[in-house]
């Protein structure tokens, strides 16, 4: 588990940037993001909000599989990402 958290934390900045972009594309009604206390928490907050926005737009979705899909598996800590995922996932 620690390895997963370290890997995720090492990519927190890129994850936050991507998730914030996904969140902004979900609509202008998203409230501004406040600091959550750590780089990892700052990255996971927009992921959660983007998953919630997708669920409200597309219908109910289980949150964990949606977060895994949205982050290209990064929150599941695949190493390396499966070949079925888009190539940009390797950059996160």
Q: Tokens for 13?
A: 């900045």
Enter the pTM of the model: 0.69
Count of positions (residues) in the chain: 92
Residue closest to 3 by CA, chosen among 63, 72, 76: 76
Map out the domains of the chain as residue ranges. Answer: 2-25+36-91
Residues 39 and 67 sit within 8 Å (Cβ to Cβ): no
Rounded to whole angstroms, the Cα distance separating 17 from 91 reads 12
pLDDT tens for the chain, 92 residues long, are 577 777 777 888 888 888 888 888 776 677 788 888 888 888 888 888 888 888 888 888 788 888 888 777 777 765 555 555 555 544 44
């Amino acid at each position: 588990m620690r390895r997963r958290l370290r890997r995720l934390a090492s990519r927190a900045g890129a994850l936050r940037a991507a998730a914030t972009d996904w969140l902004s594309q979900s609509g202008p009604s998203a409230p501004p993001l406040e600091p959550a206390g750590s780089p990892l928490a700052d990255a996971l907050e927009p992921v959660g909000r983007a998953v919630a926005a997708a669920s409200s737009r597309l219908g109910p979705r289980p949150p964990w599989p949606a977060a895994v899909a949205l982050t290209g598996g990064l929150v599941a800590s695949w190493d390396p990402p499966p070949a079925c995922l888009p190539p940009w996932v390797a950059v996160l």
